[in-house]
Chain A
Amino acid sequence: MNKQNRPTKLRLPQKVASQPGKVKIHKLPTGVRGLDEILGGGIPEFSFNVIAGMPGCGKTTLAHQIVFANASQKKPALYFTVLGEPALKMLRHQQQFSFFDESKLGSAVRFINVADVLQEGDVNAVLAEIIKQVTAAKPGVVVVDSFRTIEHKTIGGAKDVEMQSFVQRLAQFLTSWQATTFLVGEYVQEEIRENPLFTIADGLIWLWQVAERNSVVRKLQAMKLRGQASVPGLHTIRIGEGGLQAFSRTLGLVGRKSRPSSFKRLSIGIPELDKMLGGGILEGDSLLVAGPSGTGKSALATQFIAEGIRKGEPGIMAIFEERPEGYLHRAGTFGLHLKKAEADGTLEALYLRPLDLSVDETMQAILDAIIRIGAKRLVIDSIVGFEMALAPGFRADFRESLYRMIGALTGAGITILSTVEVEDTFTSLQFSHYAISFLTDDIIRLRYVEIDGQLRKVMVVIKMRGGNHSKDIREYVITDKGIVVIHPRKTDYGALTTGIPQLIGQREEIAPEPKSTT
Chain B
Amino acid sequence: MRHFAKLLIVYERNGTKSAKTRLQDPFSDCEKLRPPLSTLMGKGGFQALLLHAHELAGTEVPWLRTVKVKADGTLEGLEELRMQLDPDELFEGRVVLLSQMLGLLVAFVGEKLTVGLVQGVWPKAPLNDLGLVKGVNIE
Contact = CB atoms under 8 A, between A and B. Distances in A.
Given A87-B45, A88-B45, A113-B45, A102 B112 contact: yes
B81 interface: no
Interface stretch (B9-17, B88-96, B113-121): B113-121
B120 A116 contact: no
A95 interface: yes
A350 interface: no
A85 B43 CA distance: 15
Contact-size category for B: 20 to 34
Given A87-B40, A87-B42, A113-B39, A106 B109 contact: no
Nearest to B49: A88
A103 B117 CA distance: 11
Interface residues of A, number: 17
Contacts of B43: 116
Interface in A105-119: 105-106, 111-113, 115-116
A86 interface: yes
B120 A106 contact: yes
Contacts of B36: 106
B77 interface: no
Given A112-B39, A113-B41, A116-B42, A89 B117 contact: no
Nearest to B104: A88
A86 B41 contact: yes
A113 B38 contact: yes
B112 to A, nearest CB: 5
Interface of B: 36, 38-45, 49, 105, 108-110, 112-113, 116-117, 119-120
29 contacts: A86-B41, A86-B45, A87-B41, A87-B45, A88-B40, A88-B41, A88-B109, A91-B108, A91-B109, A92-B108, A92-B110, A95-B109, A95-B110, A95-B113, A103-B116, A105-B113, A105-B117, A106-B116, A106-B117, A106-B120, A111-B39, A112-B40, A113-B38, A113-B40, A113-B41, A116-B38, A116-B42, A116-B43, A116-B44
Given A86-B45, A106-B120, A115-B44, 12 more contacts: A81-B42, A86-B41, A88-B108, A88-B109, A91-B113, A95-B112, A102-B113, A106-B116, A111-B39, A113-B38, A113-B41, A116-B43
Interface of A: 81, 86-89, 91-92, 95, 102-103, 105-106, 111-113, 115-116
Identify the 5 closest CB pairs spanning chains A and B, nearest first: A113-B42, A87-B41, A88-B108, A106-B120, A115-B42
